[in-house]
Amino acid sequence: AVWVQRGNGSGVVTFIDSAITDSTASNTGGGILVQKTVLDDGEDDLVLIRTEVLRNRVTDETLGQGGGITGQEANVRIVDSTVDGNIASTSGGGILSSEVQSQLDARLVITGSTISYNIAGLTGTGGAAFLGGSGGGIANSGGAMNVENSTIARNEARPGTLPTPLGQGGGVYNTTTIGNPKTAQLTNCTVAYNVGQVGSQLYASIINSGLLVANTLIVGEPGGDPNCSTNTPGGLGVVSLGGNVS
Encode pLDDT of 157-180 as tens digits. 988 776 665 788 999 999 876 666
Encode pLDDT of 18-72 as tens digits. 999 999 999 999 999 999 887 777 889 999 999 999 999 998 877 889 999 999 9
Encode pLDDT of 88-97 as tens digits. 989 999 999 9
Residue 233 in this model has a pLDDT that exceeds 60: no
Tell me what pLDDT residue 240 has: 81
Tell me what pLDDT residue 235 has: 45
Tell me what pLDDT residue 62 has: 77
CA distances from 106 to 24, 78, 230, 239 (A): 23, 14, 22, 22
Residue 83 in this model has a pLDDT that exceeds 90: yes
Tell me what pLDDT residue 127 has: 47
Q: Give the rounded distance of the alpha carbon of 148 from its chain centre.
A: 14
Tell me what pLDDT residue 225 has: 60
Residue 212 in this model has a pLDDT that exceeds 80: yes
Tell me what pLDDT residue 183 has: 87
Tell me what pLDDT residue 209 has: 60
CA distances from 164 to 131, 134, 159, 167, 244 (A): 8, 11, 9, 9, 30
Tell me what pLDDT residue 178 has: 63
Residue 199 in this model has a pLDDT that exceeds 70: yes
Encode pLDDT of 104-162 as tens digits. 789 999 999 999 999 998 755 554 456 778 999 999 998 999 999 999 999 999 887 76
How many CB atoms within 10 Å of residue 142?
22
Is residue 85 left, alpha or beta, with left meaning phi > 0 and alpha meaning psi from -120 to 50?
Answer: left
Partner residues linked to 16 by β-bridges:
49
Please state the rounded mean pLDDT for residues 181-198: 91
Tell me what pLDDT residue 18 has: 98
CA distances from 13 to 35, 48, 53, 58 (A): 11, 9, 15, 22
pTM here?
A: 0.92
Q: pLDDT band at 220, cuts 50/70/90? A: confident
